[in-house]
Amino acid sequence: MIRMYSRRLLLPFVGVVQIAEMDRARALSMDGDYWSIQYRLPVDPRQQTRSQRVDPGSTYTRIVGYNHAAVATAKDGQLQNHPVHPALDADEVRSASQRLFEAVTDARLPFEAADRYEYWLLDARDETPLALLYTCVGEQERELTPPRPEWHPMPASELKVEPPEPPQDFYVPPVNYRLERMVEERAGSKPRAVWFERGDLTGGDFPPCLIREDWQDEKQQVLCDLYIRRLAPRLLMLQGLSRPARERLEQAAREHVFEIERFHALYPEVVDQRLMTAARVEARLRRANE
């Protein structure tokens, strides 16, 4: 049986990964086009401890990667696989990869979100959710040592956010890191984070864009708004957004047509279809003219 679901990738938040999972193999995609098929390696039980967080991907080896847009990598229904790890049975690995390939090729995206356990940094003033740190799918993963109560943005090298002020003669940290400092200060000198189980992603006092957007200082508000606007093409992959929130993010994302083109297959809903279609058309035209 192949289980298909999605989960948010943190920390920092970079998007929503689609997962098709079997007993010992899985296929992953960040955009619905490129898929990485992986197989789990045998793990020495002595290396497993409850005292530290274990990367769920650390025991997997990559079998093959391919783009749906270029399925020429498959010949007569067979994938062109990478060399199989010596600890694995080659026939079992290739059989699993073929099953996953067929499953995701026929699947409808995006998959339903399964990471209903959320680990939130709290606002020191009222202990309400301030910023999302981590999510997990099941109780077993939740029992691992949680991450430190620290929020991190996407690095400025990967997500350039235009600053609100003109170029200065002295160093001014990127918006990303100024926002990180703001969140750190709002969390207080003794930051605390707690787990929530959310069956309904639309309910409760949880920031829809995964970080609080209400700042009393006007300059801080501007910095937060700039970061959210720049992250909009990725935030649109979130499930459970209200219609006003999604519409606001679509307007902001329109400034980044190549990212809309990349991630649009994973948007669970589109409010302004004409706007999003126009962005994708513009991306294709600009690429053709490069």
Q: Chunked in runs of 10, what are the mean pLDDT values of the chain (290 residues)?
A: 94 95 90 88 54 52 68 46 62 82 90 94 95 90 80 96 87 94 96 90 84 95 98 97 96 97 96 97 91
Check residue 40 and give its pLDDT: 81
Q: Considering 106, 130, 158, which residue would you say is the last residue of a domain?
A: 106
Same domain (yes/no): 94, 183: no
Number of structural domains in the chain: 2
Check residue 157 and give its pLDDT: 95
Same domain (yes/no): 150, 229: yes
Same domain (yes/no): 16, 136: no
- Cα dihedral 98, 99, 102, 105 sign: negative
Q: Considering 62, 84, 106, which residue would you say is the last residue of a domain?
A: 106
Same domain (yes/no): 7, 140: no
Same domain (yes/no): 133, 261: yes
Check residue 82 and give its pLDDT: 59
Q: Which residues contact 24 (CB under 8 A, 6 or more apart)?
A: 39, 40, 96
Same domain (yes/no): 268, 175: yes
Same domain (yes/no): 96, 8: yes
Q: Which domain holds residue 85?
A: 3-106
Q: Which residues contact 274 (CB under 8 A, 6 or more apart)?
A: none
> Would residue 275 count as lying in a domain?
yes
Check residue 59 and give its pLDDT: 77
Q: Around Cβ 180, how many Cβ atoms within 10 Å?
A: 19
Same domain (yes/no): 12, 78: yes
Same domain (yes/no): 52, 151: no
Check residue 70 and give its pLDDT: 55
> Would residue 112 count as lying in a domain?
no
Check residue 166 and give its pLDDT: 86
Check residue 81 and give its pLDDT: 54
Same domain (yes/no): 131, 88: no
DSSP string computed for 17-79 = EEEEE-SSEEEEESSSSEEEEEEEPP--GGG--SSS---TTTTEEEEEEEEGGGGGGEETTEE
Same domain (yes/no): 133, 254: yes
For the entire predicted model, the pTM comes to: 0.86
CA distance readout (Å), 102 to 29, 80, 110, 148, 194:
14, 14, 16, 39, 39
